[in-house]
Structure 1
């Protein structure tokens, strides 16, 4: 079953600004069973610079 996702921000005065328009996304059939964040892929991190 597809889902829709829209990213927006709301200012203090109630103004809504769309960051990413609504898009259809397909959920994973079987998500990974982990409580950890994935390893950082940024070139500045010492873990990936090795």
Structure 2
């Protein structure tokens, strides 16, 4: 749901989702954005960063 909400977001992840959406169909773009978001969250949790 968070990845799908990026469609109207004015963030870097939102821009990434819109670029992916222009290149591929919507389900694949949502999956790519969710994967990127999961990698960012994992990195933040393991390194203890904000």
Question: Structure 1 length normalisation: TM-score?
Answer: 0.18
Bigger fraction of residues in strand:
1
Greater C-alpha Rg: 1
Structure with greater helix share of residues = 2
Normalised by the size of structure 2, how large is the TM-score? 0.18
